[in-house]
């Protein structure tokens, strides 16, 4: 039986698949949401035991069957290399477990379609961490846009998502290789976040796009160190790189709004700069994820900065403001709020903006359109 919370109710049991950086983020968010982390499944039984000891959780699972056979487990968090997402998430859903699965759902549209269909039929909660939706000031911007503060229509959308952790030619890892990371790297990894956030805020999906991709480093080590360190820790034989370091996109929304985006993991000095501007008929708005406590609002006569305030603004801004104004919130709080909302959905609530496997499928279709356009050099429809 699961342990009891302070109110005497059973704690939700959570198993984490994966033991890397993002798995640790999932574990922390689960604990803060009141769950009991029953154990961890890593790449080998020995690594599972090591991670369980480091995390101070009861079980280092031997294999997936042991996870799914554990009656303590209500929710499975899938934080493993991309090529395993479909296998693990589908098995968990079939075993009656709720699932939180890192994106991409699968390494193909076909996998994502199958996963989203299974999730819908199961009636279980199946969520994908597009967590930038959970910045309180993003909720404020969305509310202001929909209230007409930028005008009755958007004229242009533009932005970028830039990182530099792949800049060194000696950095590598499983994300680099199609067999483990999938056919797209930079766009599937971070461009997907940019598109999800812009589409969710505007409510106007991208209908077609033309894209170009580039590989800045033609070969990298076939083994690498920890992700996102940029430390040049790769070792081993160098092999050709077949996934993109950068992508540029020109897009058009369903209502005809033109958009552009630049995506790169080799932009020196940019650590995690998800940035976009919405230019409307009355005003403009800018969000910068590296400065997540404010938005810039521009008008023909004046411009101003609006900062997060847990006492004013939209209800969703206030709901997600965990700390008093002036005490900076960031990515960790976004992730914690996302996991808390996923668990609330399991309890029958309907939190606003919770990204589901349907959103993961949408992302897979965007990735597919980018790859097809980059290959063919043409405008490409995005499947709905």
- Read off the pLDDT of residues 288-307 as tens digits, 9 standing for 90 and up: 999 999 999 999 999 999 99
Q: Are 147 and 293 in a shared domain?
A: yes
Among residues 311, 316, 307, the alpha carbon closest in space to that of 337 is found at 316
| 100 CB neighbour count, 10 Å cutoff | 25
346 in a domain, yes or no? no
Q: Are 113 and 192 in a shared domain?
A: no
The pLDDT score that the predictor gives to residue 70 is 98
Q: Are 127 and 148 in a shared domain?
A: no
Q: Could you tell me the CATH number of the domain that includes residue 23?
A: 3.40.50.720
Q: Are 126 and 173 in a shared domain?
A: no
- β-bridge partners, 166: none
Q: Are 251 and 285 in a shared domain?
A: yes
Residue 19 to residue 227: CA distance in whole angstroms = 12
* 285 pLDDT above the threshold of 80: yes
Q: Are 149 and 278 in a shared domain?
A: yes
The pLDDT score that the predictor gives to residue 226 is 52
pTM, full prediction: 0.94
Could you tell me how many helices (H) and strands (E) the chain has, helices first?
Answer: 12, 17
Q: Are 246 and 362 in a shared domain?
A: yes
Q: Are 153 and 229 in a shared domain?
A: yes
349 in a domain, yes or no? no
Among residues 286, 293, 295, the alpha carbon closest in space to that of 325 is found at 293
- Read off the pLDDT of residues 236-246 as tens digits, 9 standing for 90 and up: 799 999 999 99
The pLDDT score that the predictor gives to residue 229 is 55
User: Could you say which of 114, 131, 148 is where a domain stops?
Assistant: 131
* 2 pLDDT above the threshold of 50: no
Q: Are 184 and 251 in a shared domain?
A: yes
Q: Are 232 and 242 in a shared domain?
A: yes
- Domain extent, residue 31, equals 13-131
Number of domains in the chain: 2
Q: Could you tell me the CATH number of the domain that includes residue 278?
A: 3.30.360.10
- Read off the pLDDT of residues 22-75 as tens digits, 9 standing for 90 and up: 999 999 999 999 999 999 999 999 999 999 999 999 999 999 999 999 999 999
Q: Are 114 and 138 in a shared domain?
A: no
- Read off the pLDDT of residues 142-179 as tens digits, 9 standing for 90 and up: 999 999 999 999 999 999 999 999 999 999 999 999 99
């Amino acid at each position: 039986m699961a342990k009891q919370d302070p109110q005497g109710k059973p704690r939700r049991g959570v198993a984490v698949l994966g033991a890397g950086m993002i798995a640790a983020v999932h574990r922390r968010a689960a604990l803060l949401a009141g769950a009991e982390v029953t154990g961890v499944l890593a790449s080998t039984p020995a690594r599972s035991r090591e991670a369980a000891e480091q995390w101070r959780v009861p079980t280092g699972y031997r294999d997936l069957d042991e996870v799914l056979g554990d009656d303590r487990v209500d929710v499975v968090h899938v934080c493993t290399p991309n090529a395993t997402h479909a296998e693990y998430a589908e098995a968990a859903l079939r075993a009656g477990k709720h699932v939180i699965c890192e994106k991409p759902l699968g390494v193909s549209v076909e996998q994502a379609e199958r996963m989203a269909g299974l999730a819908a039929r199961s009636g279980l909660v199946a969520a994908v961490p597009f967590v930038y939706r959970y910045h309180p000031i993003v909720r404020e911007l969305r509310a202001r846009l929909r209230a007409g503060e930028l005008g009755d229509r958007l004229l242009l959308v533009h932005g970028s998502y830039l990182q530099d952790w792949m800049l060194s030619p000696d950095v590598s890892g499983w994300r680099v290789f199609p067999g483990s990371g999938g056919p797209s790297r930079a766009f599937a990894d971070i461009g997907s976040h940019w598109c999800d956030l812009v589409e969710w805020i505007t409510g106007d999906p991208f209908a077609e796009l033309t894209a170009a991709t580039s590989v800045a480093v033609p070969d990298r080590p076939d083994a690498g160190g920890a992700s996102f360190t940029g430390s040049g820790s790769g070792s081993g034989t160098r092999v050709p790189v077949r996934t993109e370091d950068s992508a540029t996109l020109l897009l058009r929304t369903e209502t005809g709004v033109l958009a552009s985006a630049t995506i790169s993991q080799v932009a020196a000095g940019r650590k995690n700069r998800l940035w976009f501007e919405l230019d409307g008929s009355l005003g403009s708005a800018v969000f910068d994820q590296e400065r997540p406590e404010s938005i810039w609002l521009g008008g023909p006569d004046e411009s101003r900065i609006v900062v997060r305030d847990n006492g004013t603004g939209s209800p969703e801004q206030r709901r997600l403001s965990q700390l008093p104004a002036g005490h900076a919130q960031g990515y960790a709080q976004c992730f914690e709020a996302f996991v808390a909302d996923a668990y609330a959905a399991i309890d029958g609530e309907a939190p606003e903006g919770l990204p589901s496997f349907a959103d993961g499928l949408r992302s897979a279709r965007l990735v597919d359109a980018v790859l097809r356009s980059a290959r063919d050099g043409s405008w490409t429809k995005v499947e709905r």
